[in-house]
Structure 1
């Protein structure tokens, strides 16, 4: 199976803020027509985020063949969920997801409560024949006893209601092996995020190797303080085994898309996207 490539629009968030129409057309010109949104104002807005008007999005979908293949929703709120799902349904998107979560260190009962909540979100999505997915950072690979948070989420979420979008970069930064995760939970993954880690990074790949205490209670302020722009690289320019990741993902029965997501770029966001696309074209098993 060839892996279809798309993009998480967070990668070009500054470009979208300055010129949404020009940025989306530039992505389409590169052949990037599979887009994942990120609605960070979900309590008051129903869209795909980044200030993109629904009317313009509809026009772009008609004229440029753009499709929305997923959208992260923050915050997830059960009262708002029907309107959120209805909007996504109208634009043809069948997947919504959780973008970021934090877990008080060692609190397994809290993880279970969140898993119950994710099951309920997934149940609401399934009633509309839509999929709910969970997207990770490095926090999920902390050990709470003999299990990581990620393993606990796999254990306590319903496989039929909660799927996963594996951010391979952040998994590596949590000390996990994405390829092994694909092999261990082959039915759970529907998408992934791909970026790269620079060889000259000032810190080790694993955040728990000196950057974060293994027993830290990680929250958003700590996450933002420790997130360093110089520790992100364009696909194919760093040290991650991307061909091996592609090969492993291609064996998964429910896997749909590998999405470029680069949280920070040293130069122009669109130039960084172009560099990553050129790299993707050199890998085997890729459908651009």
Structure 2
């Protein structure tokens, strides 16, 4: 819980951070940093008690959200855009981004609505009604990773999805894991996606954990594709042989160094995401936000 004294102390620290790192000044709004959370981190709690979960997330200090996978049936955690927007507003939260699926997988996604390939118009309309500014392709199932030619085809679908998003004032993005950096022939699928998509229609949400796990350099990718990475996922990698997920600042990723290149990357928003937590995810996201406030914004 913030007291007036802690608020003033935090505000002075944030101001100092802006002077030290002008690229991050866009994250300071009325003395408060914009710090996001990907709700997949608290997915079980959101499934059982979305209202209580959002209240707890806000109390911890997050004010910017990214939704986990939307479907036309489930909508936003069982709510229509207006109801969910009202719930967010009551907690001082804004959902800036949301995750979606391609919908090509003929398994459990066969009847899924609101994917790129199945009722995308409805997904875009719902996102616009909620005020979402970024719609992100979250993941490709193994059945959707069929070689470089297929990635080229997917790039074409991303362009189409991005064009539809643009009409609604929304930016389309693609979120990476590590499989996009499994070289096929002499190319990475990730490069195929970048090279075969319109740089204005299709931006990238860089997951810093997965890029690092794939032995890639985020800063080098920023240099090669400046301005292409408006969204970042922050989760750390521990020092064990398993390279397990851990809280931001508790592992081996040099976030301070990477954040120094935020402007070059074109980063607008970042979201803490921890796929697996050792205990309560609320404990983990509290540790992450504490580090972020002290060191990154």
Please give the residue correspondences for 1:1-288 in structure 2 after superposition, counting only pairs within 5 Å: 1-2=23-24, 3=27, 4-42=34-72, 44-45=73-74, 47-48=75-76, 50-51=77-78, 54=81, 56-74=83-101, 75=103, 76-102=115-141, 107-199=147-239, 201-203=240-242, 205=243, 231-252=244-265, 254-284=266-296, 286=297
**Cα displacement string for residues 224-278 of structure 1 (whole angstroms, at most 9, x for unaligned residues):** xxxxxxx1100111111111121112433x3211110000100111111000000
**Matched residue SS, 2:96:** strand
CA distance in 2, matches of 1:244, 1:19: 37
How many Å apart are 1:135 and its aligned residue? 0.2
Conserved in 2, the CA contact under 8 Å of 1:15 and 1:269?
no
Conserved in 2, the CA contact under 8 Å of 1:95 and 1:132?
yes
CA distance in 1, matches of 2:174, 2:192: 13
CA distance in 2, matches of 1:174, 1:102: 18
How many Å apart are 1:190 and its aligned residue? 1.0
RMSD between aligned residues? 1.9
How many Å apart are 1:14 and its aligned residue? 1.5
How many Å apart are 1:17 and its aligned residue? 2.2
**Cα displacement string for residues 18-76 of structure 1 (whole angstroms, at most 9, x for unaligned residues):** 3211110011112212110022534x34x33x445645523223322211100011232
Runs of at least 5 residues in structure 2 that lack an aligned partner in the other structure: 1-22, 28-33, 104-114
CA distance in 2, matches of 1:264, 1:27: 17
Q: 1:54 to 1:102 in 2, by over 3 A?
A: closer
Runs ≥4 in structure 1, deviation > 6 angstroms?
Answer: 103-106
TM-score of the aligned structures, taking structure 2 as reference length: 0.80
**Cα displacement string for residues 90-113 of structure 1 (whole angstroms, at most 9, x for unaligned residues):** 111121010001577782211111
How many Å apart are 1:159 and its aligned residue? 0.7
CA distance in 2, matches of 1:40, 1:89: 13
**Matched residue SS, 1:32:** coil
Greater per-residue helix proportion:
2
**Matched residue SS, 2:232:** strand
**Cα displacement string for residues 86-141 of structure 1 (whole angstroms, at most 9, x for unaligned residues):** 11111111210100015777822111111111111111111112110000100101
CA distance in 1, matches of 2:205, 2:286: 23
Deviation larger for 262-271 or 28-37 = 28-37
How many Å apart are 1:10 and its aligned residue? 0.2
CA distance in 1, matches of 2:280, 2:49: 13
CA distance in 2, matches of 1:245, 1:52: 37
CA distance in 1, matches of 2:154, 2:235: 27
Conserved in 2, the CA contact under 8 Å of 1:20 and 1:52?
no
**Cα displacement string for residues 197-219 of structure 1 (whole angstroms, at most 9, x for unaligned residues):** 112x233x5xxxxxxxxxxxxxx
Conserved in 1, the CA contact under 8 Å of 2:64 and 2:96?
yes
Larger RCO: Structure 1 or Structure 2 (Cα < 8 Å, ≥ 6 residues apart)? 1
